[in-house]
Amino acid sequence: MLQSAKRSYAYLSNYVKLILIALIITICIQEFIKKAPYHLLNHHHSLIYTLTFSLLTISILAFYFVNKPRTIYLVDFACFKPPSILRVPYATALEHGQIILASQPKSLKFQLMILERSGLGEETCLPHPLHYLPSKPNMMDARDETELVIFSAMDSLFQQTGIDPKDIDILIVNCSLFAPTPSISAMVVNKYKMRSNIKSYNLSGMGCSAGLISIDFAKNLLQVHPESYAVVISTEILSPNSYMGVERSMLLPNCLFRMGGAAILLTNKRSHRKDAKYVLLHVVRTHKGSDDKSYRCVSQEEDKEGHVGIALNLDLMVIAGNSLKSNISTMGPLVLPASEQLLFLFNFLGRKFLKLNLKPYIPDFKKAFDHFCIHAGGRAVIDELQKSLRLTSEHVEASRMTLHRFGNTSSSSLWYEIGYMEAKGKMKKGDRVWQIGFGSGFKCNSAVWKCNREIEATKYSAWADCIHRYPVNEPEGGKL
């Protein structure tokens, strides 16, 4: 009985707007029928009022459709699959750690503890230069890694979609730590001989959430450039950015970050409204850079010996949680059903004005989304968001398995997660997907996609040869 009442409440609250609109239209039709056409002809004032109202209505509708935001379609995407010769099993990582940190037993012990609890599996990969002892990567090594990752993903994307590189109108590349001259976007234009009037952009230094920043950038560009294709490339180049020192706060990224990249094809062409995989519904960006702690919690710096690396502050998880709350406060009204918004409002009013001893109501986002893609930054990140959003193990399965198979691939990890869901056959037409990314600065960005058609697993997927082994059971690990 109680469940039936809840369902009825949710149904009525969700469709109250439609009910009101239908009621108003019905009343207007009834009034129009009462006043027959001959009555309007005999009363010139009534006729003028009716014509004026009709023209005004048509003008408003025309203005709405002319200025309506263009629908952004995701035609397809491709993720880079590293060759197996680049994999870093636990035994290899252990051996390298024992050699490199032989004189620093405490740092070695810390790094091994991180690896044991990281959630990474035996098939994650690092670029070729980092397999050498000692590792001394140079600019050429970084360029080779860039070409391997990006060109492989782009080749797969063009093969899957059949799009000619010369048809691309907009190109956006995001890579935080490697910013050569000419830029990475210029490397792509040169490789695929793209048009001279292509609008190309290269984003750097924006952390693991830069992928969704690029999606938002592409969305805004596609609003002002009709009938266009946009390619977004998200990656992180590791060769020149591996930390060679002994500082614990800077050793952590060495244990988590692995090779990866993704290429995404977006368009505003209505000809793709049936064959596109997804439709972009919302992008919400939150930037906490005005707060000093948030700004400094993830930073690239030198240690006492001059080794450059990424330092992670102990407040990182707290700052990430606060950023997520701010992002949710904006996202919630856009996606939550009216029933959840009303419950949140009643709870807030009760605590604020009636001084009731109530716990703050956390909206149930499972009623708004069918799938969740949480940035695979590490086991602790996934655990914390699963707890905060009250998600089930199934909801975070894609994030955990992506971390296990590919590691933290930075901004591209969200696309490996969607690829996992597709390979498992979980993505159905009408499903809504919530992508959540975190990055230095500190930023929390999220995007909402709606599945546009039935999606089947393809042989081009990065998961194609291993999806049958997943999900795997992860060993329990204590908190770091």
Q: Which residues are catalytic?
A: 208, 287, 371, 375, 404, 408
Q: How far is Cα 209 from Cα 436, in angstroms, rounded to an integer?
A: 8
Q: How far is Cα 203 from Cα 441, in angstroms, rounded to an integer?
A: 14
Q: How far is Cα 207 from Cα 185, in angstroms, rounded to an integer?
A: 17
* Six-digit token string for 299: 């930073």
| 405 CB-side CA count, 13 A | 27
Given a contact cutoff of 8 angstroms between Cβ atoms, the answer to whether 222 and 228 are in contact is yes
Q: How far is Cα 371 from Cα 363, in angstroms, rounded to an integer?
A: 16
Q: How far is Cα 93 from Cα 428, in angstroms, rounded to an integer?
A: 39
Q: How far is Cα 429 from Cα 425, in angstroms, rounded to an integer?
A: 11
| Helix intervals (H) in 15-138 | 16-34, 37-42, 44-67, 90-100, 105-117
Element of type H or E holding 162: none
Place of tokens 């197996």: 84
Place of tokens 């730590």: 177
Contacts of 39 (CB under 8 A, 6+ apart): 46
Report the SS3 class of residue 263.
strand
Range 470-475 contact pairs with CB under 8 angstroms and sequence separation of 24 or more: 470/401, 470/404, 470/405, 470/420, 470/424, 471/397, 471/400, 471/401, 472/121, 472/401, 472/404, 474/119, 474/379, 474/400, 474/404
